[in-house]
Amino acid sequence: MERTKARRAVIRAFKPSLGECEGDALREAVSSGWLGTGIYTRLFESALSRDVGGRSVLATNSGTAALHLALAAMRVEGGEVLTTPVTSVATSHAILYNRAFPVFCDVDPETGNIDPGAIEASVTRRTRAIVVVHLGHACDMDRILEIAKARRLLVLEDVCACHAVGGSYNGRPLGTMGDAACFSFGRFKGLTTLDGGAVACARAEWTERMVRLRRMGHGERDGRMAEGEGGVEELGFHYRMNDLAAVLGLSQLRRRGEIQERLDEILRIYADGLSGVSFLRAPKAEAYSRGVRAYAAYRVLGGRRDALRRHLADRGIEVNDVLFPNHRYALYRRHRRKLPAADRFCAEMLHLPFYPGLSDGDADRVVDTIRKFRG
């Protein structure tokens, strides 16, 4: 009888790191009988606040909601907002949600982060704000903040791409340098609430408005929803985080050291194993960027990115969806500009499997499969 060759298990692109800690916490929350926005959400907000220098934090039901609220607080409507096209489309959509005009700036060809020189060249009298996206490494915040100060512009840090709090720029935590910052804790993030996000800022008047907008426009008095004719003064949204998501977030924060340590180990396996592969190059890590564990990202040179993706897929290895330059989407046709560095960076980028539950054996298998690529 002919022996059948065993099929190797598929290596997923990403799997949330959820275990007994999260299960126990969820059971406790469910038994409380309250699943709306309550004590667990407030505890999660307090924990995040400590990570961003004591700024006020509002938890939301997505990172997209956080971006929408932050730009609404900045009152960018009718103006221009400078940003990068190398990001999730949520960043660009949030600008449109606020009836503002996105102006895409080119990126540094080595890091993929927004180029401060391109920012400076794009400022007009209509510019209201800059949205910077820390894409796997911190942006050059000193230069960006200098431009913003000189031109009286607001700065929003989009930390969504970094997957979790913990990264820093010259020793300063990401999310503490701009006028406001947004985080995402979606199911594909290293620190996850499955669906969720947060916005942090240091301006009390912004926080007060975002509290209203997050709760369908309802104001609050002494922690309770304001009632009567003056209870709703502007159109709001259903953007609050629920307690089950917050419970997951609290559990993940308790395990953050363990999660980050494991992610560092996986990055070392990839870095050591893929060293010397001529067609691969990791995005440049500037000396000012520390502790950012967003992706196991590599640039595939020579136009071979798609062939390598097929090679991996044929051997049971999934890769994360690649970033598409936002100015190339049909919706953003009227906002298109010539951005050669962004186009090239997106065309070369590949995100390898990267999550705390990835075993050493699976990481080694990814490395071995890439080294055998001859496309």
Query: If pLDDT is split at 50, 70 and 90, which confidence band does 174 have?
Result: very high
Tens-place pLDDT, residues 216-240: 998 876 667 777 777 888 999 999 9
Q: What b-and-e string marks burial along 164-190, b requiring 16 or more CB atoms within 10 Å of the CB?
A: bbbbbbeeebbbbbbbbbbbbbbeebb
Query: If pLDDT is split at 50, 70 and 90, which confidence band does 290 have?
Result: confident
In the chain, list all ranges with CATH 3.90.1150.10: 256-371
Q: φ and ψ at 283, to 5 degrees?
A: -55, 145
In the chain, list all ranges with CATH 3.40.640.10: 20-254
pLDDT value of position 221: 67
Distance of CA 369 to the CA centre of its chain: 28
Nearest Cα neighbor of 189 from 17, 12, 363, 10 is 17
Reply yes or no on whether the pLDDT at 315 is more than 90.
yes
Query: What is the average pLDDT value for the chain, to the nearest integer?
Result: 90
Cα separation, 182 vs 221, in Å, equals 25
3-state helix, strand, coil in the chain (%, to 5): 40, 20, 40
Cα separation, 26 vs 17, in Å, equals 15
Query: If pLDDT is split at 50, 70 and 90, which confidence band does 7 have?
Result: low
pLDDT value of position 164: 54
pLDDT value of position 2: 40
Identify the weakest region by mean pLDDT among 301-305, 321-325, 367-371.
Answer: 321-325
- 129 within 8 A of 154, measured Cβ to Cβ: yes
pLDDT value of position 306: 95
Tens-place pLDDT, residues 69-87: 999 999 999 999 999 999 9
Cα separation, 198 vs 204, in Å, equals 16
Q: Is the pTM of this model over 0.75?
A: yes
pLDDT value of position 3: 42
Cα separation, 161 vs 60, in Å, equals 16
- Angle CA 114–318–305, to nearest 5: 50
Class of the domain covering 256-371: alpha beta
Tens-place pLDDT, residues 19-51: 777 888 788 878 777 766 788 999 999 999 998
Reply yes or no on whether the pLDDT at 59 is more than 90.
yes
Cα separation, 184 vs 312, in Å, equals 28
Query: If pLDDT is split at 50, 70 and 90, which confidence band does 283 have?
Result: confident
pLDDT value of position 22: 80
- For the domain covering 20-254, report its CATH number: 3.40.640.10
